[in-house]
């Protein structure tokens, strides 16, 4: 296993993301299967395990905490996250952190993150002096590194990363997301500031591991699509951990083998990956920029969210994944709520035929057309 340094901690380049663990028919975590995956990863050098208060509806921390009792706690690095959307006052932060230590059955968390920093919650962090409390926990040895995970624009990323002497940061990066959120500019800025990066979604939720046949042919590689996505990241300086949400043993085996032999892509491979990205982007159905001018909708439709997952399904020819994310993230603001009032049409700077495209969302992501 390859290792990198975050401060004085020698962390495995491959990190085990615990957001998509194997599950039973009732969606509860299959503990036996999860333990087997963690055991194999641990025995093969993986020492960074990433979870969060909300993963698997709160059960991820509990099950991981049980597994930690079977190994030497000091031999692994544990990352977890504070759910900023649940914070109402500083007492809430204290209560959640204490609960996390109980669930994880540990006295400390190695890498503690403010979960999903956005403009909408950053001011709350500042007003409540959350970082001061985390610094107190760090002084007490309950936290060893303070960081954040990020889901907003690059401009806001620059504001946040310059606002505090972070020990590390976690950003989304893959060859389809170079200009998305913090993106490649965020990775470069973090490296310039000497802040190690933990990379999430290197396979874009698994979408880059199973490419459509056309794009797979464009990749023109003897290696798997997943391996090439990991190798694409090998060029980026400052990356300490690449997280992968592995829920099958085959995923763990392949990813460990890939990380152990991770040369950067050569010029021809980079060119082919660029072709793959261009081809996938050509499959976008709705040219929505998520500007938000069309919302709020009187019928409670998350119009940008609907179009996001329609594009995901068509871009990767994978409507199964798109439907899962649509149900999870759009929830009750679905396209079938549309009453065809047409109020959104004049608001859209891209002049999208919103009502017609929402009907397509219903067909593709909800399984039937309305009316």
Per-residue pLDDT of the chain (371 residues; tens, 9 = 90+): 999 999 999 999 999 999 999 999 999 999 999 999 999 999 999 999 999 999 999 999 999 999 999 999 999 999 999 999 999 999 999 999 999 999 999 999 999 999 999 998 999 999 999 999 999 999 999 999 999 999 999 999 999 999 999 999 999 999 999 999 999 999 999 999 999 999 999 999 889 999 999 999 999 999 999 999 999 999 899 999 999 999 899 999 999 999 998 999 999 999 999 999 999 999 999 999 888 899 999 999 999 999 999 999 999 999 999 999 999 899 899 999 999 999 999 999 889 999 999 999 999 999 853 43
Same structural domain for residues 107 and 189? Answer: yes
In a shared domain, residues 147 and 104: yes
Alpha-carbon distance of 42 to 35, in angstroms, equals: 10
Do the beta carbons of residue 51 and residue 41 sit within 8 Å?
no
Q: Is residue 209 within 8 Å of residue 199, measured between CB atoms?
A: no
The answer as to whether 287 is a domain residue is: no
Same domain, 263 and 324: no
Shared-domain flag, residues 186 and 320 = no
**pLDDT given at position 118:** 92
Residues 336 and 243 in one domain: no
Note whether residue 288 is domain-resident: no
Specify the number of domains making up the chain.
2
Query: Cα-flanking dihedrals φ and ψ of residue 216, to 5°?
Result: -60, -40
Query: Which residues, including other chains, have CB under 8 Å from residue 306's CB and lie 6 or more apart?
Result: 326, 330, 334, 335, 358, 361, 365
> Is the peptide bond preceding residue 192 cis, with omega within 30 degrees of 0?
no
Q: Which of 199, 134, 193 is nearest to 160 (CA)?
A: 193
The answer to whether residue 292 sits within a structural domain is: no
Look up the domain containing 28 and give its range. 3-275
Q: Is residue 290 assigned to a domain?
A: no
Q: What is the CATH number of the domain that holds 34?
A: 3.20.20.100
pLDDT value at position 290?
86
State which of 259, 275, 291 marks the end of a domain. Answer: 275
Give CB contacts under 8 A, 24+ apart, made by 176-184.
176/204, 176/207, 176/208, 176/277, 176/280, 176/281, 177/201, 177/204, 181/150, 181/151, 181/152, 181/153, 181/154, 181/157, 182/150, 182/154, 182/157, 183/154, 184/236
Final residue belonging to a domain, choices 228, 260, 275: 275
Q: Read off the pTM.
A: 0.90
d(CA 315, CA 207): 10
47/131 same-domain check:
yes
335 and 265 assigned to the same domain: no
Q: How far is 295 from 304, CA to CA, in rounded Å?
A: 8
Same domain, 236 and 317: no
- Say whether both 12 and 118 belong to one domain: yes
- Do 180 and 143 lie in one domain? The reply is yes
Tell me which of 256, 275, 294 is where a domain ends: 275
Calpha distance 142→136 (Å, rounded): 9
User: Are 29 and 98 in the same domain?
Assistant: yes
Shared domain check, 197 and 98: yes
């Amino acid at each position: 296993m390859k290792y990198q340094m975050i401060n004085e901690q020698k962390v495995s380049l491959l990190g085990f993301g615990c957001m998509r663990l194997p599950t039973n028919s009732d969606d509860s975590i299959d503990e036996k299967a999860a333990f087997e995956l963690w055991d194999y990863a641990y025995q093969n050098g993986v020492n960074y395990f990433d979870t969060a208060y909300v993963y698997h509806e709160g059960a991820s921390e509990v099950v991981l905490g049980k597994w930690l009792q079977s190994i030497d706690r000091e031999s692994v690095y544990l990352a977890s996250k504070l759910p900023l959307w649940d914070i109402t006052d500083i007492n809430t932060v204290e209560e959640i952190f204490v609960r996390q230590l109980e669930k994880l059955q540990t006295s400390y968390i190695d890498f503690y993150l403010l979960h999903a920093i956005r403009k909408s919650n950053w001011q709350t962090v500042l007003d409540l002096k959350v970082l001061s409390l985390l610094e107190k926990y760090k002084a007490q040895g309950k936290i060893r590194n303070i960081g954040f995970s990020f889901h907003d624009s690059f401009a806001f990323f620059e504001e946040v990363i310059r606002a505090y002497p972070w020990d590390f940061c976690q950003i989304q990066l893959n060859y389809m997301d170079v200009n998305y959120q913090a993106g490649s500019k965020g990775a470069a800025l973090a490296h310039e500031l000497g802040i190690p990066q933990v990379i999430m979604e290197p396979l874009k939720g698994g979408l880059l591991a199973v490419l459509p046949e056309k794009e797979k042919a464009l990749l023109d590689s003897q290696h798997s699509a997943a391996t090439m996505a990991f190798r694409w990241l090998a060029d980026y300086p400052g990356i300490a951990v690449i997280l992968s949400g592995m829920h099958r043993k085959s995923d763990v085996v392949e990813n460990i083998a890939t990380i152990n032999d991770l040369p950067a892509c050569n010029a021809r491979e980079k060119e082919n990956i660029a072709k793959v990205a261009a081809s996938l982007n050509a499959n976008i159905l709705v040219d929505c920029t998520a500007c938000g001018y069309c919302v709020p909708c009187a019928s409670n439709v998350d119009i940008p969210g609907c179009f996001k997952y329609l594009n995901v399904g068509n871009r990767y020819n994978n409507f199964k994944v798109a439907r899962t994310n649509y149900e999870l993230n759009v929830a009750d603001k679905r396209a079938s709520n549309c009453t065809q009032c047409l109020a959104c049409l004049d608001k859209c700077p891209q002049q999208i035929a919103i009502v017609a495209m929402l009907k397509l969302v219903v067909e593709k992501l909800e399984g039937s057309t309305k009316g």
